[in-house]
Amino acid sequence: MILFCDTSALVKLYVDEVHAAAVREVAAKAGMIGVSKLAWVELHAALARRTREVPKSQPAVETIKQQFREDWQRFAVVETTQNVVAGAGDLADAFALRAYDAVQLASAHRLKQAADEALLFACFDRRLNRAAELLGMTTLIVD
């Protein structure tokens, strides 16, 4: 099974927050973790925000960034090609999604189409999950 993590789920692999344990448990069972290439900048932006809001977290954030750089080599990274961007535009129109959410969804959809195994879409945005379900993806459900 492929676990596709949008950035809201990807952050939970590195930061202890609500639902982090559930995401880590599923990730440990996945044969592969898929991400959009845009997750690189989104994760760094999230960590930069954390450092601005909690300056004393800087050493921990640097450790997280190092681990993320190492893990990135093992992720199935979906490139942000013109086809992905065009698909994202269609999805933004169809589901009234924000730009990067549409790219995340288009990336997951592209990976699902290319893979010969089940894909689980991990995201913590209700609208984006609903759109993924309408595209035939299984979504990570946490209580």
Residue 4, token pair as written in the block: 């596709």
pLDDT (tens place) for every residue of the chain, 143 residues total:
999 999 999 999 999 999 999 999 999 999 999 999 999 999 999 999 999 999 999 999 999 999 999 999 999 999 999 999 999 999 999 999 999 999 999 999 999 999 989 999 999 999 999 999 999 999 998 86
Q: Residue 116's pLDDT is what?
A: 87
Q: Which domains does the chain have, with CATH numbers?
A: 2-139 (3.40.50.1010)
